[in-house]
């Protein structure tokens, strides 16, 4: 089977945890998997794991550092050169950092890695998704979105910062982005949905800073494996039952009501516009730097 005949899935953050489990499972279901990974050694290891787990599996990797918008743009361009279309985009990568750090683009790292770079990547690949008979975008959010806040004057913690608040906000932004994107994609064959994978036993969970690490250990009795946590993303990527479902929030492969007082149509549109402004500023800085 040629690469163009298999459904093509690009996954960020696929070298460990939920992303790795998702990649392996979808390869077994006949998807051509493209790993977007910062660590090339880990990407090669996952490629080997997939090859061993799925007979006839086709898997590729493209280097990316989501802390760099320039690198994110290169990822999209490389994908467009290699593949004729994109059937499934899974924006899975995420970090939970112990403090405030800035990327080379001047944004707080959690905000950029968890949200802004995925906003950019998705928009850069929309034309490739439209070439699919049924393009699907799956954004990893989290139930912690519920305590996230949208402050248009403090999107990435420049005025006021907290570790949990910034992480929760990034997951709220992914939910708001998903819903706004679904509206903008109405009438096309491309859908967008958000996922809460559950309380997952991952390295990120136990690397959480301070009191949050203690909470991670306390939540162990309620936590699930990466393989179980990946089931909702797998379902949204592969099930015909959701081929036309868009703008929804899923937990345990079921539509779930999501409520946050900041998640309004007006704020979603404003977040979109502010995100575009941030990207335009970044492009200007890149041009200035030569």
> Do 192 and 154 contact (CB within 8 A), yes or no?
no
Instruction: Give CA separation, 4 vs 74, 86, 131, 250, in Å.
Output: 22, 10, 12, 29
Look at residue 223 in the predicted model and tell me its pLDDT: 52
> Which long-range contacts (C-beta less than 8 Å, at least 24 apart) are formed by 125-130?
125/10, 125/76, 125/79, 125/80, 125/86, 125/89, 126/190, 128/79, 128/80, 128/83, 128/85, 128/86, 129/85, 129/86, 129/87, 129/89, 129/190, 130/188, 130/189, 130/190
**Per-residue confidence band for 222, with pLDDT thresholds at 50, 70 and 90:** very low
How do residues 64-113 score in pLDDT, each as one tens digit? 999 999 999 999 999 999 999 999 999 999 998 989 999 999 999 999 99
Q: Quick count: other Cβ atoms within 10 Å of Cβ 22?
A: 30
**Among the listed ranges 166-180, 217-231, 273-287, which one has the minimum average pLDDT value?**
217-231
**Per-residue confidence band for 201, with pLDDT thresholds at 50, 70 and 90:** very low
Q: Give the separation between CA 62 and CA 102, rounded to whole angstroms.
A: 24
> Do 262 and 148 contact (CB within 8 A), yes or no?
yes
Q: Where do the H-state alpha helices sit in 54-162?
A: 69-82, 109-111, 117-124, 126-130
Q: Is 167 a catalytic residue?
A: yes
**95 closest CA partner among 115, 76, 73, 70:** 115
What percent of the chain has a predicted confidence (pLDDT) above 70? Answer: 87
- State residue 97 phi and psi, 5-degree precision: -90, 150
Look at residue 228 in the predicted model and tell me its pLDDT: 80
Q: How many CA atoms does the CB half-sphere of 153 hold within 13 Å?
A: 2
How do residues 27-41 score in pLDDT, each as one tens digit? 999 999 999 999 999
Domains present along the chain, CATH in parentheses: 8-289 (3.40.50.720)
Look at residue 227 in the predicted model and tell me its pLDDT: 83
Look at residue 36 in the predicted model and tell me its pLDDT: 98
Strands 8-12, 32-37: pairing is: parallel
Mean pLDDT, residues 48-53 taken together:
94
CA 161 to chain centre: 23
Which is the catalytic residue, given 111, 115, 145, 167?
167
**Per-residue confidence band for 226, with pLDDT thresholds at 50, 70 and 90:** confident
Mean pLDDT, residues 237-245 taken together:
97
How do residues 139-195 score in pLDDT, each as one tens digit? 999 989 999 999 999 998 888 899 889 999 999 999 999 999 999 999 999 999 999
């Amino acid at each position: 089977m040629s690469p163009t005949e298999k459904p093509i899935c690009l996954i960020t953050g696929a070298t460990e945890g939920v992303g790795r489990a998702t990649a392996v499972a979808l390869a077994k279901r006949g998807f051509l998997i493209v790993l977007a990974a910062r660590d090339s050694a880990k990407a090669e290891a996952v490629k080997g794991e997939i090859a061993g787990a799925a007979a006839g599996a086709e898997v590729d990797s493209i280097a990316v550092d989501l802390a760099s918008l320039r690198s994110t743009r290169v990822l999209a361009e490389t994908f467009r050169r290699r593949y004729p279309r994109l059937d499934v985009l899974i924006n899975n990568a995420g970090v939970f950092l112990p403090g405030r750090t800035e990327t080379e683009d001047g944004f707080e790292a959690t905000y950029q890695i968890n949200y802004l770079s995925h906003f950019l990547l998705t928009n850069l690949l929309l034309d490739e998704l439209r070439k699919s008979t049924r393009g699907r975008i799956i954004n990893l959010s989290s139930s912690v979105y519920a305590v996230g806040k949208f402050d248009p004057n403090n999107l990435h913690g420049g005025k006021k910062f907290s570790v949990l608040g910034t992480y929760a906000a990034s997951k709220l932004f992914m939910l708001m982005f998903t819903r706004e994107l679904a509206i903008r994609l109405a009438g096309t064959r491309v859908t967008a949905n958000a996922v809460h994978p559950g309380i997952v036993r991952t390295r990120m969970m136990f690397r959480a800073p301070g009191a949050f690490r203690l909470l991670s250990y306390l939540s162990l009795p309620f936590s699930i494996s990466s393989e179980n946590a990946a089931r909702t993303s797998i379902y949204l990527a592969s099930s015909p039952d959701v081929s036309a479902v868009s703008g929804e929030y899923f937990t345990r492969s079921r539509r779930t009501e999501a409520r946050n007082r900041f998640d309004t149509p007006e704020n979603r549109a404003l977040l979109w516009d502010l995100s575009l402004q941030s990207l335009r500023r970044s492009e200007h800085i890149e041009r200035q730097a030569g």
